[in-house]
Structure 1
Amino acid sequence: MLFLPLVSLALLSLASAEPRISPLITHEKRSHIPAGWSHTHRHDPVAVLPLRIGLVQSNMDKLEKLLLDVSGPESANYGKHWSAGKVSQTFAPSRETVDTVRDWLTGSGIEASRVKLSGARTWIELNATVEEAERLLNTEYHVYSHTTGKEHVACDSYKLPEHVSKHVDFILPSIHFDAVIKRDNNSSGSGGTLSNIGQPGVGLKPKTTGTIGSIINELEACDQQITLICLRALYGIVYVPVATDRNSYGIVEYTPQAYLQTDLNMFFGNFSPNLVGKSPAMVSVDGGYAQTEYTGFGYNGESDLDLQYGMSLVDPLPVTLYQTGDMVEGASFNNFLDAIDGSYCTFEGGDDPYYDSTYPDPYGGGYEGPEDCGTAAPAHVISTSYGYNEAELSPAYAARQCAEYAKLGLMGTTVLYSSGDDGVAGNGNVCLDANGNEVYGGTRFNPTFPGVCPYVTSVGATQVNPGASVTEPESACMQVIYSGGGFSNYFALPSYQAAAVEHYLTAYPPAYSASQYNATGKARGFPDVAANGANYVVAVDGEFELVYGTSASSPVTGSILTLVNDARLAIGKSPIGFINPTIYSPAFAGAFHDITTGSNPGCGTNGFNATPGWDPVTGLGTPNFPQLLARWLALP
């Protein structure tokens, strides 16, 4: 089955031909106004709206089956990944879809010359007056104001003819509000109302308890300070890459988050001397660069952490740094996806100007070059230590982006995301109320995104328990941060995970009601795996600090998977690609260190418990590199 949002949305279905005259049905409806926004007034009927109609893509009902065909360990086509061209051709909207939507518009009085089809045939574009849009969509457009002063145009719901609805994912602008608050026309520089995902205090970020008096680089002290020798001992990492000309590992950062070369040199000087003076291979996306205008843990902590450990663990393989977004507009996950997949660029598959940054900068002062579109090759493994809360995004937007991660899996890329640092609460320790609104003091669990997307590998956090050695079992991280985990409110349970989730819910039923989490037993559970996320020694702004977070767990896991790829590529095999069907299979039983203690508190509860087998705290457990290597080498 295809992983669909668990809400009633006609997002990714295909339709046979139907009569053009059909009843109006509600296509999307918003239950509440997001926090920080308030209704101002009805929009001017003669104002112009840039209507963008996202067309249903072909073969989406086959997406899981096609992905499993190249990712399932028992498949005869395991590892036979697709080309980008084949992916684009397979999922392009059908002629029927394009014609149905275009005929509806022209039949409603819109001149054919005004209706434009995007290059990849995935969006229909139309500049319409508010009056025209309201008539087409049977709705009313209103202006809303944010506490930052920004204004936004939206409607509460909209309707489409039934036969048209089956060919449309979603329409913009409509019910959707900003996932990131960008500056308005009067703002300039980084000090306006910018609040993109790379800004300090926004979304998922590592935490610190401050500077370290002295470094204890000894295995006996791994309960106090995690360094490279601790990670190698915990996970059995003994391997030096040899296929460096064929392998690749990418780490994504979002400006203004940036590393300092002096910090890399300081860390390498202590732990990886042969890397002193070396930098990641930077790929600038939409004006991204390693800014030095703003420094401090909030600006340098994430990137310093990711690169110091990522580069060291895969040395001598160069690490690709995808530095995304400029200092003014910033960027979203879709802006990055644009750069590594040309079929996903502006209005070509995923972008929404009300969510994603627009380039060239329409207001001046930012990156004035063209938006990066298919300009960067995707690495075999890509780690991202950032995240939104699932509830901040509409189900339609999340589903469309999630499908893009599946396409990357078809092409052989492993995509990792941190699961979050606030247990069953969302980033910022925000939970949900009974209506699904994000509120402080809420009692309903708040999953993170993209970690809940069933086409990415979500990484939780563990710790070496105080007083314990690296030879003793770890537990779920309960120092400073709690491993993000739980069950999606949008995405259905993927087939590869069904047996693991069923076992957990049957053998260890959570002591919570359906009013607290998605207790249907049919929802995507996360994380998938975990790695240490406590007490990392990181050089930040010229000092060593203790750092915590799934922000560390993801790049460390990515490094281990990159080493597995290296061994496979060295003997002429393919990269491992989308790993979830493989790691949940019986063939990989025992390939992870099972974590059975600890929990992930949040929303006024103790959260879920780590248990034998998969659990929504640490997933399948932490990597056992020798076991993973042997089992992946045994696959075709």
Structure 2
Amino acid sequence: MLALFSLALAAVATAQTLSPSVQHAKRTALPAGWSRVRRHAPDAVLPLRFGLTQPNVDMKSLEDLLNDVSHPDSPNYGDHWSPARVAEHFAPTKGNHPHRRVLDLRQRCRPRSQAESLLNTEYHVYEHDSGKEHVACDAYHLPAHVVPHVEIVTPTIDFNAILKRSGSTSTHITVGQPGAGTVQPVLAGKIENIFHELDNCDKQITPACLRALYNFVYPFPLATKQNSYGIVEYTPQAYVPADLDLFAKNFSSGLVGARPILAAIDGGVVQNTSESFSFNGESNLDLEYAMTLVTPHQPVTLYQVGDLQMGASFNNLLDALDGSFCTSGGGDDPVNDGIYPDPDPAGYQKQDCGTIKPANVISTSYGYNEADLSPAYTARQCAEYAKLGLMGVTIVYSSGDNGVAGNQALCLNPDGSQSFSGNVFNPSFPSTCPFVTGVGATQVNPNATIHDPESACQQVIHSGGGFSNYFAIPGYQQGVVADYIKDNLTPSPYPPGTYNTSGTSRAYPDISANGANYVVAVDGQFGLVYGTSASAPVVGSMLTMINDARLALGKKPIGFINPTIYSPAFRGAFNDITTGTNPGCGTKGFSAAKGYDPVTGLGTPNFAKLLALWILQK
């Protein structure tokens, strides 16, 4: 796989004489809260790091490979790749980079003046409102003949410096920290009495409501030793054992005393020193519903990522699932990812690379704003999700809880910066990656029953959805997205520049499930919880049971599902959601409509129909 490289300065001058210098990347605006304060000192040392491109990881090539094993019409459907085949296919060949002689495996530290000459740029020091400083440039250049072979250079334009949180010794805020990320379950009140009757599903969602809504009847899995379901949590998020038992006593007595199988990654720990909804709500919600819906017979694995000192990001999870990812494409980014071994003496003193066998289905209820990250960073991660899909892994992500806005309802400004007053839609990542399945949120409308159509979630949260600014539209979406644009966005109801109107960008979410009024046990009592945080593990549970049926018949797991669920044969297996919007950025957002829409996707699953269709597949 691709290693992290540093460019030897002595050879750069030679390389630059071979072709003109061209712009490799540019940042259009400063993130909120940052300001430029001074030029970086000329003798200050910069550790320049060059991540070389991997072969075969352009989006079109990845999509073709995935379609070969994931499209229902392919003769190779279900013939997933082994990890060894994936590693071999994406490993750089010898001599893959024609100017490899100017590259070596060491990180090279250079004075600012030499780095500026090398990259034809200027480095400045920027200061955040919190006092944190960061070194970056506005744009940088490389010799034209080198550009195709370099994916990312750091430090340069990336401006995702992770800030120290108040009252903490950590220098990082990660997706696990309270208030971080685009997906945050919301506690809307405590519950005195639980309604177990299906007549009350408009007021309280329970496992019984979900089974009734989605025809989700699968009482006894048969292939539990072959099957696996992974729920991802980021430290310091942690479940409370007593809460799992409280929930089980009310909804699944067979789970009293049961716990998920802990797969600790980079020192991940189920901490019990900080207890509140902010620390326990996400993990409790995910595990209470996932464990209940797959029944007590199917074990659930908890991927607990990151130690308490450093924290972690999605890349740390991917390191553990694929050892080669630790070094591919530049390796982990100290700006965005937890860097292990942890330099804190109390932290985790190893790095977990390839230590975890991926579950058949992995559900994650965390996210970033797409604009928080550079295109190169997201592309590298998205390619890894494609590799997992090739191996037969289904990746499910929540789509966000702020409609067309991003984390904390931030929107984009025309210059690319983020603010509460922005009026440009702010997509969520990783849901915009075309190789994951993004899950939005619906609701049972007030005074409606489980027999009435749901709408897009309009209570407390709004289903994240829209059009990516980074990723092109995949082939499986082209027809349905074109229909939505023609019928609902022609002409566009918003001024130019409000969202990506090209018609050639990835739309999200792909599907939805209920995300309102969930009954959740948290810190010894029940409350009503809202969010696509709930939708994702519910969908993951249904897909896990479909895998069980296929495995029991001697078939393969369903793997990457998007080419299948968008195919004509599967269109009748979803409950079309045609009402509701996903407001944000001073607008009503997009509208749910007949067929696909960037609010609820294809709709909510009809488990019985999906099961029957997937059983018929090879």
Q: TM bucket by the smaller chain?
A: over 0.9
How far apart, CA to CA, are the structure 2 residues paired with 1:466 and 1:63?
43
Q: Deviation string for 1:381-407 (max 9, x for gaps)?
A: 000000000011111111111111111
How far apart, CA to CA, are the structure 2 residues paired with 1:458 and 1:182?
30
How far apart, CA to CA, are the structure 2 residues paired with 1:43 and 1:92?
37
Look up the equivalent residue of 1:77 and give its one-letter code. N
Q: Which residue of 1 aligns with 2:276?
A: 296
Q: Which residue of 2 aligns with 1:354?
A: 335
What SS does the aligned partner of 1:134 have? helix
1:134-213 to structure 2, matched below 5 A, reads 134-178=116-160, 180-182=162-164, 190-203=168-181, 204-213=183-192
Look up the equivalent residue of 1:66 and give its one-letter code. L
Look up the equivalent residue of 1:206 and give its one-letter code. P
Q: Which residue of 1 aligns with 2:105?
A: 116
Q: Deviation string for 1:526-552 (max 9, x for gaps)?
A: 000000000000000001000000000
**Cα contact 1:452–1:525 (8 A) shared by 2:** yes
Q: Which residue of 2 aligns with 1:412?
A: 392
Q: Which residue of 1 aligns with 2:324?
A: 343
- TM-score where L is the length of structure 1: 0.91
Does residue 607 of structure 2 align to residue 630 of structure 1? no
How far apart, CA to CA, are the structure 2 residues paired with 1:360 and 1:57?
25
**Cα contact 2:411–2:585 (8 A) shared by 1:** yes
**Cα contact 1:462–1:534 (8 A) shared by 2:** yes
Does residue 46 of structure 2 align to residue 44 of structure 1? no
Q: Which residue of 1 aligns with 2:429?
A: 449
Q: Which residue of 2 aligns with 1:324?
A: 305
**Cα contact 1:454–1:524 (8 A) shared by 2:** yes
What SS does the aligned partner of 1:89 have? helix
Look up the equivalent residue of 2:64 and give its one-letter code. K
What SS does the aligned partner of 1:163 have? coil
**Cα contact 1:144–1:153 (8 A) shared by 2:** yes
**Cα contact 2:33–2:128 (8 A) shared by 1:** yes
Greater mean deviation of Cα atoms: 433-442 or 216-225: 433-442
What SS does the aligned partner of 2:572 have? coil
Q: Which residue of 1 aligns with 2:8?
A: none
Of residues 569, 590, 593, the one that matches 1:608 is 590
Of residues 348, 366, 372, the one that matches 2:347 is 366
Of residues 478, 482, 493, the one that matches 1:502 is 482
**Cα contact 2:49–2:330 (8 A) shared by 1:** no
Does residue 456 of structure 2 align to residue 459 of structure 1? no
**Cα contact 1:55–1:97 (8 A) shared by 2:** no
TM-superposed CA distance for 1:179, in Å, is 5.9
Look up the equivalent residue of 2:46 and give its one-letter code. L
**Cα contact 1:20–1:104 (8 A) shared by 2:** no
How far apart, CA to CA, are the structure 1 residues paired with 2:170 and 2:350?
23
How far apart, CA to CA, are the structure 2 residues paired with 1:553 and 1:26?
42
What SS does the aligned partner of 1:60 have? coil
Look up the equivalent residue of 2:178 and give its one-letter code. P
Q: Which residue of 1 aligns with 2:9?
A: none
Look up the equivalent residue of 1:536 and give its one-letter code. Y
Q: Percent identity?
A: 61
Q: Which residue of 1 aligns with 2:86?
A: 87
Distance 1:182 1:581, change over 3 A: farther
What SS does the aligned partner of 1:483 have? coil
1:376-391 to structure 2, matched below 5 A, reads 376-391=356-371
| Structure 2 stretches lacking a partner, 5+ long | 1-14
**Cα contact 1:182–1:329 (8 A) shared by 2:** no
**Cα contact 1:73–1:581 (8 A) shared by 2:** yes
Q: Across the two proteins, how many residue pairs are aligned to each other?
A: 597
How far apart, CA to CA, are the structure 1 residues paired with 2:95 and 2:481?
39
Greater mean deviation of Cα atoms: 194-203 or 481-490: 194-203
Q: Which residue of 2 aligns with 1:10?
A: none
Distance 1:541 1:380, change over 3 A: same
How far apart, CA to CA, are the structure 2 residues paired with 1:557 and 1:603?
28
Q: Which residue of 2 aligns with 1:577?
A: 559
Of residues 206, 231, 235, the one that matches 2:210 is 231
**Cα contact 2:178–2:279 (8 A) shared by 1:** yes
Of residues 52, 55, 59, the one that matches 2:52 is 55
What SS does the aligned partner of 1:135 have? helix
How far apart, CA to CA, are the structure 2 residues paired with 1:179 and 1:40?
16
Look up the equivalent residue of 1:224 and give its one-letter code. K
Q: Which residue of 1 aligns with 2:6?
A: none
What SS does the aligned partner of 1:95 have? coil
Q: Which residue of 2 aligns with 1:392?
A: 372
Q: Deviation string for 1:219-267 (max 9, x for gaps)?
A: 0000000001000000111112110000000000011110000000000
Q: Which residue of 2 aligns with 1:564?
A: 546
How far apart, CA to CA, are the structure 2 residues paired with 1:145 and 1:264?
44
How far apart, CA to CA, are the structure 1 residues paired with 2:48 and 2:169?
30
TM-superposed CA distance for 1:133, in Å, is 1.9
TM-superposed CA distance for 1:582, in Å, is 0.4
Look up the equivalent residue of 1:55 and give its one-letter code. L
Of residues 4, 17, 31, the one that matches 1:34 is 31
Look up the equivalent residue of 1:43 and give its one-letter code. H
Q: Which residue of 1 aligns with 2:198?
A: 219
Q: Which residue of 1 aligns with 2:5?
A: none
**Cα contact 1:343–1:349 (8 A) shared by 2:** no
TM-superposed CA distance for 1:178, in Å, is 2.0
Does residue 45 of structure 2 align to residue 67 of structure 1? no
Q: Which residue of 1 aligns with 2:503?
A: 521
TM-superposed CA distance for 1:70, in Å, is 0.6
Of residues 401, 404, 410, the one that matches 1:421 is 401
Look up the equivalent residue of 1:103 and give its one-letter code. R
Q: Deviation string for 1:323-367 (max 9, x for gaps)?
A: 001112111110111011101015665421121111122243322
Q: Deviation string for 1:282-332 (max 9, x for gaps)?
A: 111111111011011000000000000000011211100000011121111
| Structure 1 stretches lacking a partner, 5+ long | 1-17, 106-114, 118-124
How far apart, CA to CA, are the structure 2 residues paired with 1:425 and 1:66?
33
How far apart, CA to CA, are the structure 1 residues paired with 2:580 and 2:169?
41
**Cα contact 2:332–2:339 (8 A) shared by 1:** no
What SS does the aligned partner of 2:51 have? strand
**Cα contact 1:422–1:481 (8 A) shared by 2:** yes
What SS does the aligned partner of 2:287 have? helix
Look up the equivalent residue of 1:154 and give its one-letter code. A
**Cα contact 1:173–1:354 (8 A) shared by 2:** no
Q: Which residue of 2 aligns with 1:250?
A: 230
Does residue 540 of structure 2 align to residue 536 of structure 1? no
Look up the equivalent residue of 1:429 and give its one-letter code. A
